[in-house]
């Protein structure tokens, strides 16, 4: 990772930093593979989406090979998998998600529900504590086809028990689709052990694969031939370069590909995954929990007197890799913090998100960041800043 | 562009070469914008898809601003636009395409037709001469909702008259969706003048934006509010970062975005487009026609005696930027040619494609390449090579 001693970066859950090896690998792909190898390099590139998917599966997703593909964006993958799941669940016409789910998930499902005349049941989650199993259990019935939830909530960082909730959903005869955007690379994900059905996630947060790097999708092996995704593209075709007259989906996970994959982003997924794999997700998680607990401890002591309220679960095992703090001036405080070279981010309504990604963040970073927060809040040194959010992701 | 005097590259219609400025710009985006700027750089990135779209519109697509967006892949964009068009054409249940259209176009439309219970009418095009207006006219009736055609055929390079065919389609009350993959950057495209409705295209061929760079889509201004694409993602949302409860599509072309855009590929689209814009598409087209005419003249003289047959239109104004030659040993000859450091490609059945992209190809390149082809055919120096195609794109 780049070393910029002045900056404390607590926003790796929005855009992860650039790994040194990714920088070198991207330059190699651009200068050599593309620049010199030209079209001949496709023989190495054509297998990348599967190869990067298998690396994610092994190191970060708790999944056996052949179930994960790097492709498209989270939005497009969610559309593909949710559509495929609904087609496979004929006779059931309800989709469930929760009101705290990430916007693109809710929007995609709204669109699908509108197009198909399905009902979209929007469960209420506590914005700081996440979805309760009880709420989900009450909403399940034999009309439910699909349940779409985030493993780690994007705002509070609340972590739900994937195995427990998947089991509830399965008992009702429905399928699960998990959004792993804030989970992959920050908590050990156990897709196979949880008998998760489907999942999607991005790679530009904790996987550090760069701005707009491709997403991934997971389809449990026994579902791969039962489910057919709606976007029938040439990269999902069996024997693609025979360019045959009729679409004939490739066997297995490859049928969930669509068009030409972005090569540069996919090699960055490989490098980012390799880095986390070498560190080990269990060790990263242990450090992450220590970092966030330390952060919460300091916040209790230093920030509570200045109007901050913890907006994340207090129990470590119910938290992902980031912590949210509520404050009436959260937006201006987040901007004042950036001025002090500490980057977190703002999320509406009134939350400051801080993600001490364990691969790059030290305990002294957390101390320094919270000390600066304390000063800003105590001195009201955000007073000169505008109150309106600008563009952040 | 890279200077590799040994290599003659006639495959820029598959993967265009690396522009020098793109190499520098990609390095800058990776090292500085991502590596140092981190999440703060999103304020510059968020407008890229529109910005790059406007550049394509102005320099290469004959379209006014606000109608082109760089996003997703050709496959995904075709799915989005074809779905939106069919929704807007309720009461009509036929899609038309031709049997020579690029595979992913045919597959996407097959999928959409199957899902909606539409009829997909597959017109017959002459594989070497392209679609005739007469064939299209005969197939049009008041059941036709949508006609999907390629402006330049991927195999023969046959160029159809967009304005004439669009007019035919409009008279039947249907909408057009043009695939511009082999047209953009190789022939002047006049979307607005042709009153084209919808279009998609890739940027990794003549636009030289690199392997898996994002595609673009065009939606004629007056259709933008009438058409609603099916993948409702957060980048298509009005006031995206308020993360509101309900999907509310952004005005204009932005509603056709889906998920997080790939940043590196989009800046490469800008650079590639800028380069062609500086050269000027009309001047590029003039050189391209001279190059392909010269190529065909040499092929007539040198290659016809060795069993080659022209598999592209002979009239310059009916050809795009590449030329196909038929030969019973086309695959092995294409491989032997690569061994001689001349890169063209093979397309089934039995075609050698040669694309002398005018931005990088000289007349002596064409002479040298055809001279090598003549020698290979005369000496049968491909005899030791396998007869089966491997992976090419």
Model confidence, pTM = 0.97
Per-residue pLDDT of chain A (393 residues; tens, 9 = 90+): 445 568 999 999 999 999 999 999 999 999 999 999 999 999 999 999 999 999 999 999 999 999 999 999 999 999 999 999 999 999 999 999 999 999 999 999 999 999 999 999 999 999 999 999 999 999 999 999 999 999 999 999 999 999 999 999 999 999 999 999 999 999 999 999 999 999 999 999 999 999 999 999 999 999 999 999 999 999 999 988 888 889 999 999 999 999 999 999 999 999 999 999 999 999 999 999 999 999 999 999 999 999 999 999 999 999 999 999 999 999 999 999 999 999 999 999 999 999 999 999 999 999 999 999 999 999 999 999 988 765 444
Judge if ipTM > 0.90.
Answer: yes
Residues from chain A contacting residue B343 (CB–CB below 8 Å): 38-40
Q: Is B211 near chain A, with CB under 8 Å?
A: yes
Active site residues of B: 102, 179, 204-205, 353
Chain B contact for A331, CB < 8 A? no
Nearest chain B residue to A11 by CA: give it. Answer: B39
Cβ pair B34:A15 closer than 8 A: yes
CA distance A104 to chain B (A): 5
Chain A residues within 8 A of B14 when measuring between CB atoms: 39
Give the residue from chain B lying closest to A1, CA to CA. B35
Nearest Cα residue in chain A from B232: A108
Using a CB–CB cutoff of 8 Å, tell me whether A364 touches chain B: no
Q: Please name the member of A9, A18, A244 whose beta carbon is closest to the beta carbon of B34.
A: A18
Residues A109 and A120: their CA atoms lie apart, in Å, by 7
d(CA A308, CA A373): 10
Q: How far apart are CA B155 and CA A359, in angstroms?
A: 49
DSSP state of A323: E
* DSSP bridge partners of B130: B126
H or E stretch at B68: strand B68-70
Q: Which domains does chain B have, with CATH numbers?
A: 8-18+280-379 (3.90.1150.10), 20-278 (3.40.640.10)
Q: What's the CA gap between A345 and A12, in Å, rounded? A: 10
Q: What is the pLDDT of residues B289-307, one digit of tens each?
A: 999 999 999 999 999 999 9
Give the integer Cα–Cα distance in Å for A325 and A354.
8
CA separation, residue B318 to residues A100, B195, B309, B314, B324 (Å): 56, 20, 17, 8, 13
Which residue of A76, A117, A124, A263 to mutate against B (max B Cβ within 10 Å)?
Answer: A76
CA distances from A24 to A29, A31, A37 (A): 9, 10, 17
List the helix and strand counts (H, then E) for chain B. 11, 13
Ranges assigned E (strand) in chain A: 8-9, 68-70, 94-98, 119-123, 144-150, 175-179, 198-201, 216-219, 309-310, 323-326, 342-343, 345-347, 351-354
Query: Which residues in B lie closer than 8 A to residue A110 (C-beta atoms)?
Result: 232, 246-247
- B262 and A111 within 8 Å at the Cβ level: the answer is no
Task: Label each residue of B203-262 as H, E or C.
Answer: CCCCCCCCCCCCCEEEECHHHCCCCCCCCCCHHHECCHHHCCCCCCECCHHHHHCCCCCC
Catalytic residues of A: 102, 179, 204-205, 353
- What is the rounded radius of gyration, in angstroms, for the C-alpha atoms of chain A? 21
Answer whether B262 touches A (CB < 8 Å): yes
Is B201 an interface residue toward A (CB < 8 Å)? no
Residues 91-150 of B with CB under 8 A from A: 99, 102-104, 106-108, 110-112, 115
Residues in B closer than 8 angstroms to A115, CB to CB, are 230
Q: Would the CB atoms of B74 and A106 count as touching at under 8 Å?
A: no
Q: Which residues of A touch B38 (CB under 8 A)?
A: 7, 9, 11, 15, 17, 343
**Which tens digits make up the pLDDT trace of A69-121?**
999 999 999 999 999 999 999 999 999 999 999 999 999 999 999 999 999 99
Under an 8 A CB cutoff, do A38 and B31 touch? no
Secondary structure of A134-154 in the HEC alphabet? HHHHHHCCCCEEEEEEECECC
């Amino acid at each position: 990772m780049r070393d910029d001693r002045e900056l404390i970066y607590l926003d790796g859950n929005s855009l992860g930093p650039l790994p040194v090896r990714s920088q070198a690998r991207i330059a190699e792909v651009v200068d050599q593979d593309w620049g010199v190898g030209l079209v001949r390099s496709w023989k190495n590139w054509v297998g990348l989406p599967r190869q990067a998917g298998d690396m994610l599966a092994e190191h970060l997703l708790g999944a056996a090979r052949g179930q994960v593909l790097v492709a498209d964006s989270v939005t497009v993958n969610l559309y593909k998998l949710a559509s495929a799941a609904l087609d496979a669940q004929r006779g059931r016409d309800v989709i469930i998600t929760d009101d705290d789910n990430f916007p693109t998930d809710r929007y995609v499902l709204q669109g699908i529900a509108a197009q198909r005349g399905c009902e979209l049941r929007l469960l209420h989650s506590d914005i700081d504590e996440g979805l309760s199993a009880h709420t989900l259990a009450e909403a399940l019935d034999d009309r439910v086809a699909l349940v779409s939830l985030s493993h780690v909530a994007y705002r509070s960082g609340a972590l739900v028990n994937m195995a427990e909730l998947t089991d509830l959903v399965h008992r009702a005869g429905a399928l699960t689709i998990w959004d792993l955007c804030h989970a992959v690379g920050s908590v050990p994900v156990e897709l196979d052990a949880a008998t998760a059905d489907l999942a999607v996630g991005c790679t530009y947060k904790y996987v550090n694969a760069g701005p707009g790097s491709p997403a991934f999708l997971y389809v449990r092996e026994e579902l791969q031939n039962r489910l057919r995704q709606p976007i029938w593209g040439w990269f999902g075709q069996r024997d693609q370069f025979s360019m045959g007259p009729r679409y004939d989906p490739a066997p297995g996970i490859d049928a969930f590909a669509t068009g030409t994959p972005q090569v540069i982003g996919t090699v960055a997924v490989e490098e980012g995954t390799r880095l986390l794999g070498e560190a080990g997700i269990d060790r990263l998680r242990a450090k992450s929990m220590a970092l966030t607990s330390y952060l919460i401890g300091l916040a209790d002591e230093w920030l509570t007197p200045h109007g901050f309220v913890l907006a994340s679960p207090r129990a470590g095992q119910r938290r992902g890799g980031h912590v949210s703090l509520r404050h009436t001036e959260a937006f201006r405080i987040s901007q004042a913090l950036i001025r002090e070279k500490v980057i977190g981010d703002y999320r509406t309504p009134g939350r400051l998100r801080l993600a001490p990604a364990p691969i790059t963040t030290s305990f002294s970073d957390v101390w320094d960041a919270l000390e600066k927060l304390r000063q800003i809040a105590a001195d009201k040194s955000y007073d000169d800043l505008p109150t309106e959010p600008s563009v952040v992701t």
